[in-house]
Amino acid sequence: MLHNMSLSANGVPQARLYGRRRTHGLTLLQLRCFQEYSPEAVQARIADVFEQKVFLGVYLEIGFGNGEHLLEQAMTHPRAAFIGAEPFENGFVQAHQRAACLPNLFLYKGDVRSLLPLLPSASLDGVYMLFPDPWPKRRHQKRRLMDSSFLEALTVLLKSGGEMRFATDQLEYAAEVIRLIEASPNWSWKAQEPRASYDSASQLCNGTAKTLKVFSEHAFSLARPLSWPITRYERKAWRCGRICCYLSAIYKT
C-alpha cells in the first residue's frame, strides 16, 4: 500500500506528489528534452537495461535533484547502470544536459512510485535516497516519502545483499528510518566504512539523547562516508550548520 493516496480523474488511486515541479521557467530547448522521456520510451530503455544483462550492477537514485551524485556515480562506475527518478523539472533538465555522454545513465522524469512497477523484483544492487524532502513541520510529516510501505516496495526490488543508502538533515526522519530497518530481520547495518572524522558526533549524541535515544547507538552515522559523492542539498545543509545523518543498510533474504 502506498501512502498519501489521492484519486485520479478515472477514480484510480494514485500516490500524491508533494513539493514543487518547477521553480523557474524552462527554455524551449529544455522543454523539448522531455519528449525523449515519454513513458513508453523510458519503459523500453529500462526494460533494455535488465534484458541486455551487460551491466555489472543496477542502482536506483530516488529524487536526484540536479543529479550531482547520480552523474558522479555513473562516471566513476561505467560498467554499472544508474537509474534516477526526479519529478523536479529544473533539476531534471540539468541532469539531462550532462547525461548525454553517459550510456550507463537512465533518467526517469516523475514520481519514483510510478517507476517502481517497471523494475523487476530482486533486480537492484543498490538504492540511494539522499536528502529526500524533509518536511520538518509536524503536520507535513506524513508527506515524507520513506515509510514502512515504501521501504517494503524497495525491498521487493533489491537483490539479496543489496544496499540502501539514506541520508537526511532531519534527525527525526533518520531515527524513523533506523526504527524501520531495525524492525525487520532482513536488514542489517553495513559494516562501517571510512567516514570523515566528526569530533562533535558523540557530543551531539549526548545532546540529543533525550529526544533521539536512537542516536546513542548510531553515532557513527553522523559522520560523512568518504566515498559518497556530495549532493547539492547536502552542501547547503552543512553550510547552514545542520547535522546530517548517513545510513547504509544491507538487505538479505
What are the residues binding ligand SAM (CB under 6 A)?
Answer: 17, 19, 62-65, 85-88, 91, 111-113, 130-133, 145, 231-234
Q: What are phi and psi of 169, to 5 degrees?
A: -105, 10
Least distance to ligand SAM from the beta carbon of 157, Å?
Answer: 14
Least distance to ligand SAM from the beta carbon of 3, Å?
Answer: 11
Q: State the pairing for strand pair 13-15/81-86.
A: unpaired
Task: Return the residue matching grid coordinates 484510480.
Answer: 12
133 part of the active site: yes
Closer residue to ligand SAM (CB): 93 or 145: 145
Q: Of 135, 144, 141, 130, nearest to 91 (Cα)?
A: 130
Least distance to ligand SAM from the beta carbon of 145, Å?
Answer: 5
Least distance to ligand SAM from the beta carbon of 17, Å?
Answer: 5
Helix, strand, coil share of the chain (percent; to 5)? 40, 20, 40
Choosing from 48, 111, 125, 133, the catalytic residue is 133
Cβ contact 17:87 at 8 Å: yes
Least distance to ligand SAM from the beta carbon of 72, Å?
Answer: 12
Q: Of 107, 115, 125, nearest to 153 (Cα)?
A: 115
Q: What are phi and psi of 193, to 5 degrees?
A: -110, 165
Q: State the pairing for strand pair 58-62/13-15.
A: unpaired
Residue 233: partners with Cβ closer than 8 Å, 6 or more residues away = 65, 130, 131
Closer residue to ligand SAM (CB): 56 or 230: 230
Closer residue to ligand SAM (CB): 89 or 205: 89
Closer residue to ligand SAM (CB): 106 or 131: 131
Least distance to ligand SAM from the beta carbon of 128, Å?
Answer: 8
Closer residue to ligand SAM (CB): 205 or 222: 222
Closer residue to ligand SAM (CB): 195 or 232: 232
Q: Of 248, 15, 236, 14, nearest to 142 (Cα)?
A: 15
One-letter-per-residue 3-state SS of 4-73: CEEECCCCCEEECCCCCCCCCCCCHHHHHHHHHHCHHHHHHHHHHHHHHCCCCCEEEEECCCCCHHHHHH
Catalytic center residues: 133
